[in-house]
Homo-oligomer: A and B are copies of this chain.
Amino acid sequence: MVYRITAARLDRDQALRERILECALARVAEGGFAALTMQGLAEDVGIATGSLYRHFRNKGELAAEVFARASQREVDALSAVLRGPGTPEARLAAGLRQFAARAWHSRRLAFALIAEPVDPEVDEQRLLYREAYAELFGDLLEEGVRSGAFQAPLLGVSSACLVGAIAEALVGPLSPPARAAREEGHSQPDLAAVSQALVTFCLRALGARLPEDPTP
């Protein structure tokens, strides 16, 4: 008798893989990649640890896929704003504010995505996604330079600068030590202040008119 993988079996496999990834993402959102252990994850999903390895060769591969899934959501959210209606500078400001707010409201996840020390497989994904962000900004800058809203001597450099500035501006306030300090009541800048500082930095960097800038 020939053994056949039935369509139903494939569907079940796919559904389980999906559930594993969602549980893994929940773990990372809660405690960072440090909390993503194969044993703990198997318990969350309710399967044997060995079964996890039928879906993911090792923790690095799983972590990389969780990273890609979470990052793609951020890229999509940013893309929707940057490619939406409005002037280039208004869309850039709105995109930065949204990016900062999303990171702020999922701090542990955002820190995990941006900066948590983790397997090289995730570092590789980080490089790819930073390129994706740079492309998004690059498209907007190109449009803005054409319309005169922005001045950017080299689009590639300016796009990369934006990606780096955004990531780095949020790493500090999102980092576990900063969160611990906040919880202990030490004063830390709030989202509105960080977000405004980031928007000001980036719009100025591109030679764009600031909405609140009093100079003509």
The smallest beta-carbon distance between A144 and chain B, in angstroms, is 14
The smallest beta-carbon distance between A71 and chain B, in angstroms, is 15
A197 touches B152 (CB 8 A): yes
A156 touches B204 (CB 8 A): no
The smallest beta-carbon distance between A153 and chain B, in angstroms, is 4
- B-contacting residues, A110-131, CB 8 Å: 115-124, 126-127, 130-131
The smallest beta-carbon distance between A200 and chain B, in angstroms, is 6
Main SS class of interface, A: helix
* A163 touches B (CB below 8 Å): yes
Residues in B neighbouring A140, C-beta threshold 8 A: none
A112 vs B96: C-alpha distance when bound (angstroms): 29
A193 vs B123: C-alpha distance when bound (angstroms): 28
- With A161-B165, A205-B201 already in contact, the answer to whether A127 and B115 are too (CB < 8 A) is yes
B164 touches A167 (CB 8 A): yes
A172 touches B156 (CB 8 A): yes
* A194 touches B (CB below 8 Å): yes
Residues in B neighbouring A120, C-beta threshold 8 A: 117-119
Residues in B neighbouring A124, C-beta threshold 8 A: 117
- B-contacting residues, A135-165, CB 8 Å: 152-154, 156-158, 160-165
B153 touches A196 (CB 8 A): yes
Q: Which of B118, B175, B189, B205 contacts A205 (CB 8 A)?
A: B205
Given contacts A157-B201, A164-B164, 17 further A-B contacts (CB under 8 A): A117-B120, A127-B171, A130-B171, A134-B172, A154-B189, A154-B193, A157-B189, A157-B194, A158-B197, A160-B172, A161-B166, A163-B164, A164-B165, A164-B167, A165-B168, A201-B206, A205-B205
Residues of A within 8 A of B (CB): 115-124, 126-127, 130-131, 134, 152-154, 156-158, 160-169, 171-172, 175, 189, 193-194, 196-198, 200-202, 204-207
5 closest Cβ pairs, A-B complex: A164-B168, A117-B123, A164-B164, A205-B205, A161-B165
